[in-house]
Amino acid sequence: MTFIDERPEVARMVRLNFTISFGALLVGGLFGMIQALHRTDVFRGFVNSQDYYTVLTGHGVLLALFFTTFFLSGLFTWGVSRSLDEPLPNATATKGWFTLMFSGATIAALTVLGGFVPSMPFKADVLFTFYAPLQAHPLFYVGLAMFLVGSWLSGLDWFRMYRSWNKKNPDKRVPLQTFMALTTMLMWYISTMGVAVEVLFFLLPWSLGIIDTVDPLLTRTLFWFFGHPVVYFWLMPAYFVWYTILPKLSGGRLFSDPLARVVFLLFLILSTPVGYHHQYLDPGIPSGFKFVAMTNTMFLLLPSLLTAFTVVASMEHGARQRGGKGYLGWLRALPWDNPAFSGSALAGLMFAAGGFSGMINAGMNINYLVHNSTWVPGHFHLTVGTATALTFMSISYWLWPQVTGKRLQHRRLAMVQPYVWFVGMTLMSNALHRGGLAGIPRRTAEPQYNNVNFETMVGSVGELRLQIGIGAILLFTSLFMFLLVMTGTWLVDRRGSIAVDGHIPAPLSGPNDSPTILDNFRVWVVLAIVLVIIAYGIPLSSMVIDGPLSPGSPPIVPV
């Protein structure tokens, strides 16, 4: 029996969330290609350099916030309901948070798109990093606030399902998928406090004219309080897939459930007190606290390295179950023709490269070499742009049939799609990293500057630009192939079996091999809050004590 037959109301919510997510992916991805071609001077016929910033903002907001969060909401709704075998606690409440998120996202997106129409009164060319002094129309902040509250309420749904299950199973360990969803949301609740305060108490009143100025340093700090953990909000659903589904797709079982729990708890406690590593060049923050942020960031490598070990060990186990032999020969036994597997595995491989470039970003001194250069988008296109996006796309090949009840269509297209993404991202990200080493700045529409000669270590700037352009075209082609498969599957009539086995086997080392304190969320939340206070308490206090609105900046409204 497929998931849609077991839980039709849950499957419907998953479909709705995924559909919005895929819509955001299409528009945001198109913007990404336009942006890359314009910025590199490969083709500048889509937009002018003023509208470039509308495209840039749309690309960031649609993909980094809406594509990721709607997919996460669908994935966790499926995972929590499946692993607990629980229905939605209250269908009206579920529709409520979905409607709130969708309405907020629509309002914010329309405000951004208003930048293309000169006669529109609302605009928001403030980039994904929407802190002061760039100011958007109030509707942008209202939309974001609604979206954020909706995401909080979605987590409440999953906690209510867990509570219902826990009453019936007081002595059982929390199922791993639910454990991962709940720790992700606990991290989200803590980290989004920063952006909630920033939007509600500063940016929204400022955009409405209620207050004349805001303190840019304070609002930037509040943004980055949320701005780095949001990276883990994107990544933790990918980890959820790598830990709980990828081993099964490899033909085996998860190597260690306890290690997976430790990894998610480390993300819960370490994701937030690291935001200052985005502000190494900001004045007004003592270096000592930047050093604390750097140390915490380096500690965050630990869960990623644990994941690399556990997931690869699980894949090896699966390959050996399929007859694989030898030190490396087992790799040939993996199902590289299954796009759900190949995409997730390639995404994990590329995430390793993203981890290494992330270490450069995190180091206080070496960060100065690459700060605000194209190295940074090169890095996050490996993390959110591949580890997250490619994992989401590939696992949809496995999940979409289960929530639609329809057999996957255009299978050959699906089989090729992850590889096209992988090659496209290699070309684009490699060139962005090399451009960053040459000092080429990010966040600008213009590719050239008077009296500046970017000295590349390998190749020329022209070659880098061409490489970025080709990569962007391949990425959009891959994205389009994915959406064709999803749309084709959705539109086909439901008949016969879906040819997907939704069963997830038990781990080799189960939850009972770990101490029960791992499931005590209160302990870890308290620890996370203590670390946040240590990292942020004194610097934030000093920013507020000298006046929360001073030194103040009037708005800079992009025209």
Partner 1 sequence: MTESEQSGISRRTIIRVLVGGGIGIPIAVESATLLGMLDEQFGGGGEGDATTLSLANDGGDDLLSETPQVERFVEATQRDRKFVAKVDFRNAGDAPATFALGPVVTGGGIRVDGVRETETVEPGDRTRLTAEWELPRGSEPATVEAKTTVDGESTTRTLQFEL
Interface residues with partner 1 (CB under 8 A) are 336-337, 342, 346, 412, 415-416, 418-420, 422-423, 426-427, 430, 434, 447-463
Angle at 217 between CA 211 and CA 218, to 5 degrees: 60
* Catalytic status, residue 443: yes
Please, is 555 exposed, middle or buried when counting C-beta atoms within 10 Å of its C-beta (0-12, 13-18, 19+)? middle
CB of 439 to partner 1, least distance (A): 12
Q: Which amino acid is at 468?
A: I
Closest by CA to 396, choosing from 245, 197, 290, 236, is 245
Least Å distance, CB 310 to partner 1, is 22
CA distance 425 to 387: 11
Mutual angle of helices 411-437 and 375-382, in 10-degree steps: 150
Catalytic annotation on 442? yes
- Give the amino acid at 117: V
Answer yes or no: 201 catalytic. Answer: no
Q: Residue 441 or 447: which CB sits closer to partner 1?
A: 447
Closest distance of CB 392 from partner 1, Å: 19
Enter the DSSP assignment of 120. Answer: -
Enter the tokens of residue 185. Answer: 């949301």
- Look up residue 397 and give its amino acid: Y
**Residue with smaller CB distance to partner 1, 49 or 99:** 49
Least distance (Å) between residue 390 CB and partner 1: 12
Cα separation, 243 vs 254, whole angstroms: 6
Q: How far is the CB of 349 from partner 1 (least distance, A)?
A: 8
Which of 443, 454, 480, 521 is labelled catalytic?
443
Contact of 525 with 447, CB cutoff 8 Å: no
Residue 379 is among the residues annotated as catalytic for this protein: yes
Residue type, 462: G
CA 140 to CA 316: how far, in whole Å?
47
Contact in structure between 133 and 555 (CB atoms under 8 Å): yes
In this complex, which beta carbon is closest to partner 1, that of residue 228 or of residue 442? 442
DSSP string, 6-34: H-HHHHHHHHHHHHHHHHHHHHHHHHHHH
Q: What is the DSSP string of 114-178?
A: GGG-TT-S----S-SS--TTB---HHHHHHHHHHHHHHHHHHHHHHHHHHHHHHH-TTSPPPHHH
For residue 213 the two structure tokens come to: 């100025």
Which amino acid is present at 375?
W
Taking the C-alpha atoms of residue 22 and residue 63, their distance in angstroms, rounded to an integer, is 10
Residue 93, judged by CB atoms within 10 A of its CB (0-12, 13-18, 19+), counts as middle
CB closer to partner 1, 201 vs 454: 454
Q: The tokens of 22 are what?
A: 């895929």
137 catalytic? Reply is no
Beta bridge partners of 373: 441
Q: Is 228 part of the annotated catalytic residue set?
A: yes
> With respect to partner 1, which residue has the nearer C-beta, 334 or 532?
334
Q: What minimum distance in Å lies between the beta carbon of 312 and partner 1?
A: 15
- In the complex, the smallest distance separating the C-beta of residue 448 from partner 1, rounded to whole angstroms, is 4
Least Å from the CB of residue 336 to partner 1: 5
Catalytic one among 380, 422, 482, 536?
380
| Cβ atoms of 13 and 82 closer than 8 Å | no
Tokens representing 386 are: 């591949």
Nearer to partner 1, 335 or 555 (CB): 335
Q: Which of the following is catalytic: 202, 232, 267, 482?
A: 232
Distance CA 113, CA 457 (A): 38
Terminal Cα distance for the chain, rounded: 56
User: Catalytic pick from 39, 278, 442, 465?
Assistant: 442
Distance CA 411, CA 450 (A): 50
Which one of 39, 59, 137, 228 is the catalytic residue? 228
Q: Rounded to the nearest whole angstrom, what is the least distance from the CB of residue 395 to partner 1 in the complex?
A: 18
* Nearer to partner 1 among residue 298 and residue 466 (C-beta): 466
> What are the Cα distances from residue 76, in Å, to 70, 348, 385, 495?
10, 20, 20, 27
The tokens for 234 are 């994107």
Distance in Å, CB of 444 to partner 1, minimum: 14
**251 touches 335 (CB < 8 A):** yes
Active-site residue flag, 232:
yes
Q: 180 has which bridge partners? A: none
Give 455 or 493: the residue with its C-beta nearer to partner 1: 455
Nearer to partner 1, 1 or 457 (CB): 457
Q: Which is nearer to partner 1, 146 or 353 (CB)?
A: 353
Measured from the CB atom, the residue of 221 and 342 that comes closer to partner 1 is: 342
Q: How far is the CB of 330 from partner 1 (least distance, A)?
A: 14
Q: Would you please indicate which residues are annotated as catalytic (active-site) residues? A: 228, 232, 379-381, 442-443
